[in-house]
Each structure stands twice: as C-alpha cells, then as structure tokens.
A = this chain, B = another copy of it.
Amino acid sequence: MTLTNLPAGPRSYDLVVVGAGPGGFDAATEAAALGIKVALVEKDLLGGTCLNVGCIPTKLYLGATSPVEDLAAQVKAKIATGNIEIDFEALCTKKDRFTGATRKAMAQKLKALNIDFYHAAAKIIEQGKVEVSHHNETAVLEYKNLVLATGSHPTVFPGLEPDNETVLDNTGFLALTEMTKSLLVIGAGFIGLEMAQIAHRTGTEITVVDALDRIAMYEDPEVSKTLHSVFKRNKWNIKLGVKVKSVTAENGKAVLRTEDGEEIIADKALIAVGRRPNSKDLGLENCGASTVGPGFVKINENLEAAPNVYAIGDLNGNVLLAHAASHQAGYVVRRITGKDKGPYTHAPVPSILYGSPETMRVGLMVKDLEGKGEIKVSSFPLVANPIAQSYASTQGFVKVVWLDDKVAGITAVGHHVSGFTTAAAMIVQEAWTEEDLHKVIFPHPSLDEALLGALKADKQLPK
C-alpha cells in the first residue's frame, strides 16, 4: 500500500509502530485487537528479517534437509541403506512461496484489524510526530504512543563487504537457487552454523573460521565442544582463532586473507559476524532518545526510549531473538492499554540452534552466576535415552544449572533437543527445586526424560 492509496483524513493514532518484524507486527495487531487505533510503518517486507531472510527460511531449509542427516545416522548404525538428493531450487521456491503466503496472511490480518499500513520509511520529527516517506511522497503521523521495532542488519566490517554473488550475507545465502560446491563461513555463531549445516546436507564442502577459540561461543563450553566434535566428524574444516583481514571475490572465487598472510579459497563465502541495530535515520534525537554501543536504543525499565516511545526487539540490544521481541511487544501493549504498570519482567528467553545436533539454552549458565550463590550442575547423557538411541544420534547431554538448589538454567545439545525447550523455559521460570520434580508426569518414553534425568541427577560443583 503506497501513501497515496490511503484515505484522506487526520493521521492521528493511539499507537504508531515502526517495523513489521515479529515485534512490531505483534505490537500492532495485539493493540488493534484491543480496539485502539494503530498505524504500522514498514519500508521493506512484512515479517522483517525473521520471516524473509532469517529464522523462518533457515528452519524451512533445515527441516526439509533433515532426512539427509537422519538417514546418515541410521546408515552409520548399519540399520539402513539409501540415498537422498535435495532439489535445492525447489526448496528455494517452496521457501519463497511460504514466506509470500505468510506475508499475505499478515496483510489480511492488518486489514481485518483496521490497522493503517504505511509502506514507507519513518523518522521522528518531534515528540508526538513521525514523518513517513516513500519515494517522493511524505505524510506526518501523530502518535500518542510509538513503538520502534526496526530490528537489525548484518554487521559489515571493512574488507568483508558482501557482494551477494560470491561473498554472501544471510540475504545472499537464502537467495541462492543452487548450492555451492564449497562454502567458507566466517563466524561460528547461530547464523553461520545453521547455514553451514544446510550447505553440508546438500553435499557442500564446509570451512568455518572464527576469531574466537571455540564455536557457538554463546553456549556452555561443553555444548560448544560437542558441536565441534560432531561437525569435525562431518569432515568440516574448522579454524579457530583466525584473524580475518579480508574476504573478497576474485575471479569468481571467495578469497579470505588472514592477518598472518594465510589464504583460504572457496567457491562462496558467507559472512556471519553478528548484527547491528537499525537505529540510524530514525530521528531518535528529535524525541530525546539516544543510543548506546553500536547503536542500540537506550531504554528504561519500561522499555521506553523517551516518554511513550518504546524500543523493542533487536533495536534495544537486550536479546536479539524474535520471540524476545514478541514478548516485549506484548508487554508494551499491556502497558499502553493500562493492563500492566511495569516494569517489564524479563521472562527466561530460550535460544535454539537448529540442525543435527540441535542446542537449546534457557536461563542462566554457570558463567552468568558466579558470585551469586551456591552453583551446582547436574547432567544426563543422551546415550541413556531410548529416543536418542532410536535416532542413532546419542552424542549430547542435558545440563541443569542450580543456584542455591533452585533451577537457574538449562542447556542441552543433541538430536531434537529443541523439543523440550518450552518445558525447560517453564521450569527455569518457576525456579524448580527437587520438590517440584514429582508435580509433573513426563511422558515415557520420550526425549524429555533426558531433561528429567538431568533434573534428578546428582548435583556437582561446576568444573
């Protein structure tokens, strides 16, 4: 919908939301469902990074290619023989069709809720007013409340600029209609490791480099170790502690040069070295808001960047995950409709790495708790779980972190461990003690029993 298509009349709203990713879309629709007048402004696609070039396409690719790994595990266990070929172009088309259908459903929901949608960029011009612009057209929207949910973009370091032909970012990778023969992944975080697994499953030769001394550095060190061991067995070339000087396209190849003068060459490279907030050009200074660090919008305990101006999701840098943005959106809507006086309560934010194996983490890990009380850990190996045995994928474990005999955090690595993430989030949220263990009946047999096993296991001091 362009600006000229909008009905004439006052552009005055109870709530203006900028950004239609998971946080912004949820804020707009939940508020409108409560009967307040809402405008949603998005300069790009409905659904934001997550739907279009982030978590959703990645999981579509990982789910669709998972039989490759599942079969490989059974072949290795000598239970099955066979082969699987992925039609990568068909998968890409399916992804485009699904994200397109989802955007269409989102647009219908906006319409059904009488939300005015502006396909435009937004800039605060003074407290209470946002200018929206698309090509040469502009309009001014008046707001009582403003939610900024503009998300983030891939970090670009000098010398590592993607051309999205040979040197790719997430957008370039997900636009490929043919998988490359060899892929060099720079950055062993979530995005790099998930995309590397997709490529691996289509037969691509994988090299992963990272400046740090372990992969998945946000995870518990033992989780990183298990991941590393599985990926090495997959014949990935993993190079740690690498100081990357440049990654450039040369004669159709991606060439990485290190500070030490080493060269690594692959058909394509994927740059996945973190994300930066989209806070430039928002006119933050015009309402008294400010930023910290690489541009994260500074907020108070009510998620306010200025009075009645909220910054949620990746933009505030709190947790860069879609479901954290949605949870913050829910709070802001409750707050502006008078149902929650605040402050914002941080529920435990679960985090999942999909693939083979998967990782899940929720709550606090040992390193987060040092000095806060008596820390213990208890764990359970997946090899003792019959469902893990059935998948012939028994490497991995569940680990529970206890603070003063209450569950403070849970993490796991292994096949399908994402399955018990919500249960784990609830257990952390409720800070279970041993006494709570018999409140709930875990199904038998199930992978969830590995979580129960870890909760019941002897507690030990962390190593």
Q: Could you list which residues of chain A lie within 8 angstroms of chain B, going by C-beta atoms? A: 22, 50, 55-56, 59-64, 66-67, 70-71, 74, 77-87, 90-91, 94, 98, 102, 105, 321-324, 326-327, 330-331, 334, 347-352, 360, 384, 386-387, 389-392, 416, 418-423, 425-426, 429, 438-448, 451
Contact = CB atoms under 8 A, between A and B. Distances in A.
A179 B87 CA distance: 32
Contacts of A82: 67, 71, 82-85
A66 B80 CA distance: 11
A448 B422 contact: yes
B70 A79 contact: no
Given A60-B390, A62-B390, A64-B79, A440 B444 contact: no
A9 to B, nearest CB: 31
B77 A70 contact: no
B64 A80 contact: yes
A64 B392 contact: yes
Contacts of A384: 105
B55 A444 contact: yes
B50 A444 contact: yes
B80 A81 contact: no
Best-buried of A22, A87, A386 by chain B (most CB within 10 Å) = A386
Contact of A67 (B74, B419, B429): B74
A439 B428 CA distance: 12
A440 B419 contact: no
A352 B447 CA distance: 12
8 contacts: A61-B390, A66-B391, A67-B82, A322-B444, A322-B445, A351-B443, A419-B447, A426-B426
Contacts of A81: 84-85, 87
Nearest to A388: B63
A70 B64 CA distance: 9
A446 B352 contact: yes
Contacts of A446: 352, 418, 421-422
B445 A56 contact: yes
Contacts of A425: 440-443
A327 to B, nearest CB: 5
A94 to B, nearest CB: 6
A356 B442 CA distance: 21
Contacts of A60: 386, 389-390
A420 B324 CA distance: 20
Contacts of A416: 416, 419
Nearest to A449: B323
Contacts of A322: 444-445
Contacts of A87: 78-81
Contact of A442 (B83, B323, B351): B323
A13 to B, nearest CB: 24
B429 A439 contact: yes
A93 to B, nearest CB: 9
A409 B238 CA distance: 47
Contacts of A80: 64, 67, 84-87
Contacts of A85: 80-82
A233 to B, nearest CB: 19
Contacts of A77: 64, 94
Contact of A63 (B90, B389, B439): B389
A26 to B, nearest CB: 10
Contacts of A59: 386-387, 390, 445
Contacts of A56: 386, 445
Nearest to A451: B422
Given A64-B79, A67-B67, A78-B90, A323 B443 contact: yes
Given A22-B444, A67-B67, 16 more contacts: A56-B445, A59-B387, A61-B390, A64-B79, A64-B392, A67-B70, A67-B74, A71-B84, A77-B94, A80-B85, A80-B86, A98-B389, A322-B445, A323-B444, A326-B444, A350-B442
A201 to B, nearest CB: 10
Given A79-B91, A84-B71, A85-B82, A64 B390 contact: yes
Contacts of A440: 347, 422, 425-426, 429
